[in-house]
A and B are shown apart, each in its own frame.
Chain A
Amino acid sequence: MIKEKRQILIFALFALIILLVPLFLKGSYFLNVLVFIGINTLLAVALNLLLGYAGQISLGHAAFFGLGAYVSGILTTRFPVDPWLALLIAAMCAAALAFVIGFPILKLKGHYLAMATLGFGIIMYIFFNETVDWTGGPSGLSGIPNLRLGPLIFDNDRNNYYLIWMITLGVMLLSINLSQSRIGRALRAINDSEVAARVMGVNAHILKVQIFTVSAFISAIAGSLYAYTMTFISPTSFGFNFSVELLTMVIIGGLGSIYGSFLGAAILTMLPEFLRVFRDFDIVIYGLMLILITMFMPTGLIGGLETLFKIIIGKIKGSTARNA
């Protein structure tokens, strides 16, 4: 019970900081970076539900992000569909696709699952590129409208920041709730020992398909938001490299930690912005991070920080005890 109260407090504090940050920012450049941190956090949380909670890898999550962006982009540019409705349709499409392929794909384990999702991601990437009549092919799709809500038009960084972070915070809260519930425990049980979970009556396969579907749904919402914010999309944003980038965010933040996903997303979004040299080195560094974190810090930065925190607390307590 105390643990639960503490969690609510931490989340409230986090949300408060997020909502106050724009007040202290003058230039819109940093706000713009924060908008993308919001989108990437949303994606990382979505992948974390699958990878961190249920222990099922996906190397094709950029495909759901892309599907969300393209369905919204196409519906709003080629048909007179309201952007909000398009966002909903896009998320439903991604969820439906995830549900259908989820059944066979999540029968696979470990390496095989990784390869299959990788294959799926590349197939989708090929479709984004080749269905030129719909997607505009490699040269992209432009003229996507901004979202609007009554008199509010989400065409500037400040409005987008609030829009995207409200959604991201909501999804973060729901994910934290989920983790502490019956379903979250069942997912974590599958992650630790699928066989034992099944013997306890957990229908592992259905549950994996469900969380895969939810994860695709959230990723597609992120895709739509990305499309409306950028007003232009092209396939390169949705390829294998981005799937690996998402994986890196989740891993360095910490598997299963929602705040870790934020941390991972923040780091990976900011590094290329602030370190010019990073641009060419990015995939080398991602590769290195994946290896080193997995080898030496399997609970990610959040886990590392927690351990550090505990050590410091322990030291302080130890020294006060000795002084007394």
Chain B
Amino acid sequence: MLRVEGITQIFGGLTALENVSFSVAPRSITGIIGPNGAGKTTLFNIVTGLYTQTHGKVYLGEKNISFFEPEVLARLGLVRTFQNVELFGQMSVLENVMVGLHTKSKSGIFSCALKLPGQIKEEKMVREKARNWLEFTGLTDLADVAACNLPFGKGRLLEISRAMAVEPQIILMDEPAAGLNSRETAVLAELIRKIQDLGMTIVLVEHDMELVMDVCESIIVLNLGKKLAHGTPREIQENPAVIAAYLGED
């Protein structure tokens, strides 16, 4: 489904990622873990086209997407959420999700300004679908609230709803449980499984080990920009190199 090959990222003198390769099976949930600064977010930024890697290739299915722009990748079915929640703060919750449906509609600037009949129909469809996604994540009651006024946990859910609206094949989530309390985390775990049931592939960067071990089928460990291990949760928990890296850090 998603394959990265020999990714290296150098910022000035700093090597943030070094020769990282792995692949993600369709409809799987893969976790990426590693201490702060390991290069997890950088990896997401490269895969989603926000950074240009120094070396290496990225494939989506058979397609080489190494230097694609994020907006193109969204249309190919690759989306993500952000570690530092990136909502459209001035817009309502519903409107945020409607932006996620941007690629599902096509009215241009003129039909929008003139409110041509086709645009009105499309707008109705978009609104409907957006409401459905809010229902999916349980945010229906908050539809008209401005996104900047949402409590943090709801903001994370909104980011996921918005990404789901793109109807992606694969969704990358950057620390979706960070800042959530244990009840919210449980809801999140449930949601992640529900997303998998829709047939989507999920890649998860996360520090919450309980969540990772619970939902992930395979786990990749990054440390200091290098891939340290890749295996099932059990294999990872027993891997001596991983244990050394984590114990060495604390």
Interface of A with B (CB < 8 Å)? Answer: 174-175, 177-178, 181-186, 188-189, 191-193, 195-204, 210-211, 214
Contact = CB atoms under 8 A, between A and B. Distances in A.
A208 to B, nearest CB: 12
B109 interface: yes
A197 B99 contact: yes
A199 B51 CA distance: 12
Contacts of A204: 71
17 contacts: A181-B119, A182-B98, A182-B119, A183-B108, A185-B102, A191-B90, A192-B87, A193-B86, A193-B87, A199-B80, A200-B102, A200-B163, A200-B166, A201-B71, A201-B74, A202-B71, A204-B71
Contacts of B82: 195-196
B91 A201 contact: no
A185 B162 CA distance: 13
Given A200-B100, A201-B75, A183 B87 contact: no
Contact of B112 (A181, A191, A196, A203): A181
B70 interface: yes
B195 interface: no
Interface string B89-130: 111000100111011010111001111000100110010000
Contacts of A210: 109
Nearest to A192: B88
Nearest to A194: B86
A195 B73 CA distance: 13
Contacts of B90: 188, 191-192
- Of A178, A181, A189, A214, most B-chain CB atoms within 10 Å: A181
Interface string B59-92: 0000000000111011100011010001111110
A189 B88 contact: yes
Interface in B144-183: 162-163, 165-166
A18 B206 CA distance: 58
Contact of A201 (B89, B126, B166): B166
Chain B interface residue count: which class?
A: 35 or more
Which 6 A-B residue pairs are closest in the complex by CB-CB distance?
Answer: A201-B74, A181-B112, A201-B103, A196-B86, A192-B88, A174-B113
Nearest to A183: B112
B192 interface: no
B109 A186 contact: no
A59 B214 CA distance: 54
B201 interface: no
A189 B90 CA distance: 9
B115 to A, nearest CB: 5
Nearest to B78: A199
Contact of B95 (A185, A191, A193, A203): A185
Contacts of B74: 198-201
A189, A191, A202, A211: residue with the most chain B Cβ atoms closer than 10 Å: A189
A185 B89 CA distance: 12
B114 A196 contact: no
Interface of B: 48, 50, 69-71, 73-75, 79-80, 82, 86-91, 95, 98-100, 102-103, 105, 107-109, 112-115, 119, 122-123, 126, 162-163, 165-166
Q: Is the interface of A mostly helix, strand, loop or mixed?
A: helix
Given A188-B90, A193-B86, A200-B102, A181 B70 contact: no
A178 B109 contact: yes
Contacts of B91: 185, 188-189, 192
A192 B158 CA distance: 15
Given A192-B90, A201-B71, A203-B71, A182 B113 contact: no
A214 to B, nearest CB: 7
A182 B71 contact: no
A281 B113 CA distance: 39
Nearest to A210: B109
B112 A178 contact: yes
Contact of A198 (B71, B89, B107, B115): B71
Contacts of A197: 88, 99
A202 B99 contact: yes
A192 B70 CA distance: 17
Nearest to B115: A177
B79 A200 contact: yes
A175 B113 contact: yes
A196 B87 contact: yes
Contacts of A193: 86-89
B88 A174 contact: no
Nearest to A184: B112
Given A189-B91, A192-B90, A193-B86, A199 B79 contact: yes
A110 to B, nearest CB: 17
A177 B120 CA distance: 11
Given A185-B99, A201-B71, 19 more contacts: A178-B112, A181-B115, A181-B119, A181-B123, A182-B102, A184-B112, A188-B90, A188-B91, A192-B87, A195-B82, A198-B50, A198-B71, A199-B71, A199-B80, A199-B163, A200-B102, A202-B102, A203-B71, A204-B71
